[in-house]
């Protein structure tokens, strides 16, 4: 028999593909089912949000921040508001800070439920995805009551938030948090501890502690590699220093530290921690106004600032430059999905094509965060 020879193929995954979590293209170089590398090709969803800010007033740009990460829009609202407040010296009230944290942590639950459910669906378990959507909708209903929207919230304002808590909001929210935790226990029995699921993600897409730091990964992707770093705890802002919560990290439960399963389990545990934070905020939130009085037209002095929040996907930074006018001179968002894309080419080497799906889902990439 003649010697069997193979040849490298170039395949296109996306930009229209249900498992890329948005309009993203991957150029896959493979020999049969085994990849040599998967090269991300981004830019299909670019909307010039940062450039548009230069034509908007500081207040008028707030709704645009929702579009940076539509699954964690509240974090984007707050990060931008914090940047303008730092530039102008405006100080929100203590109650407004607590309201922001409540909204951000509810949004964290919403986003993580979708992340863990879609990961399960991407690797073949469709039913658990419906379970997480059911619980997510319950939180969405609370968010709609709080700020009027279910996805793009436009809730934060420069100097506070637009609405205080509606009547009976605490009494409605606490049972929903209990329900989410019960559903999470059911989800863990169904998926998290499932032997097939463990084997499907364990030892796949391993990112070492050193690689995670070198590639500037943040949030659950960094903590999944065993790095115990959370901006809310290590460089605290708002009222997070007054709250008690744990920072979950990966520990190689399913195989190797920093694999797809570790990144998944960190998000599952963070849902429980977010529930704890919201309960504490309800107990500790003081009376007072939800908004301070601000000028009708905000004109910060000339200067530049950088602010950061621990968004659902990790460290979200806002770089803002003022030239003294009522519009930003320059605005730049530092997002976690963009940096997460940079490590895919390295990690994909030697993986099966099917494992690329698990890798993308475990990194919880959201396309608008990449392109902006």
Concatenated DSSP letters of 204-231:
SS---HHHHHHTT--HHHHHTTT----H
Pairwise CA distance, residues 169 & 134, whole Å: 20
Of 161, 156, 111, which Cα lies nearest the Cα of 318? 156
DSSP label at residue 326: S
Distance between CA atoms of residues 117 and 134, nearest Å: 11
Burial class (CB in 10 A: 0-12, 13-18, 19+), 149: middle
pLDDT the model gives residue 13: 87
pLDDT at 291: 94
pTM of the model: 0.94
pLDDT value at position 2?
Answer: 65
What's the pLDDT at 1?
A: 55
pLDDT of residue 23: 86
pLDDT tens for the 372 residues of the chain, in order: 567 677 889 988 878 877 777 788 999 999 888 999 999 998 888 889 999 999 999 999 999 999 999 899 999 999 999 999 999 999 999 999 999 999 999 999 999 999 999 999 998 888 999 999 999 999 999 999 999 999 999 999 999 999 999 999 999 999 999 999 999 999 999 999 999 999 999 999 999 999 999 999 999 999 999 999 999 999 999 999 999 999 999 998 888 999 999 999 999 999 999 999 999 999 999 999 999 999 889 999 999 999 999 999 999 999 999 999 999 999 999 999 988 999 999 999 999 998 999 999 999 998 888 887
Spelled out in words, what is the top-level CATH class assigned to the domain 59-343?
Answer: mainly alpha
């Amino acid at each position: 028999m003649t010697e069997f020879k193979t040849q490298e193929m170039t395949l296109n995954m996306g930009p229209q593909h249900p498992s890329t979590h948005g309009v993203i293209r991957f150029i896959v170089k493979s020999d049969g089912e085994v990849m040599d590398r998967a090269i991300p090709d981004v830019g299909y969803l670019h909307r010039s949000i940062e450039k548009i800010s230069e034509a908007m007033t500081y207040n008028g740009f707030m709704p645009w921040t929702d579009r940076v990460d539509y699954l964690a829009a509240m974090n984007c609202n707050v990060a931008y508001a914090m940047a303008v407040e730092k530039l102008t010296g405006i100080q929100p009230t203590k109650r407004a800070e607590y309201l922001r944290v409540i909204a951000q942590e509810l949004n964290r639950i919403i986003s993580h439920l979708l992340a863990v459910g879609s990961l399960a669906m991407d690797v073949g378990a469709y039913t658990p995805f419906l379970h997480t959507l059911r619980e997510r909708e319950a939180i969405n209903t609370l968010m709609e009551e709080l700020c009027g929207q279910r996805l793009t919230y436009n809730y934060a304002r420069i100097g506070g938030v637009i609405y205080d808590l509606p009547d009976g909001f605490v009494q409605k929210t606490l049972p929903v948090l209990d329900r989410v935790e019960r559903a999470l226990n059911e989800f863990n029995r169904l998926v998290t501890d499932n032997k097939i699921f463990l084997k499907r993600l364990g030892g796949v897409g391993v990112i070492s502690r050193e690689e995670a730091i070198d590639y500037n990964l943040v949030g659950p992707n960094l903590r999944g590699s065993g790095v115990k770093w959370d901006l809310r705890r290590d460089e605290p802002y708002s009222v997070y220093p007054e709250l008690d919560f744990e920072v979950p990290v990966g520990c190689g439960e399913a195989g190797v530290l920093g694999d797809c399963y570790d990144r998944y389990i960190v998000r599952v545990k963070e849902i429980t921690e977010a529930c704890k934070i919201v309960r504490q905020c309800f107990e500790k939130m003081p009376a007072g106004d939800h908004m301070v009085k601000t000028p009708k037209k905000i004109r910060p002095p000339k200067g530049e600032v950088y602010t950061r929040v621990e968004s659902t996907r990790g460290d979200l930074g806002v770089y803002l430059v003022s030239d003294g006018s009522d519009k930003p001179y320059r605005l730049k968002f530092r997002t976690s999905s963009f940096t997460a894309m940079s490590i895919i080419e390295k990690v994909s080497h030697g993986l099966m094509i099917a494992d690329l799906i698990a890798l993308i889902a475990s990194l919880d990439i959201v396309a608008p965060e990449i392109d902006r």
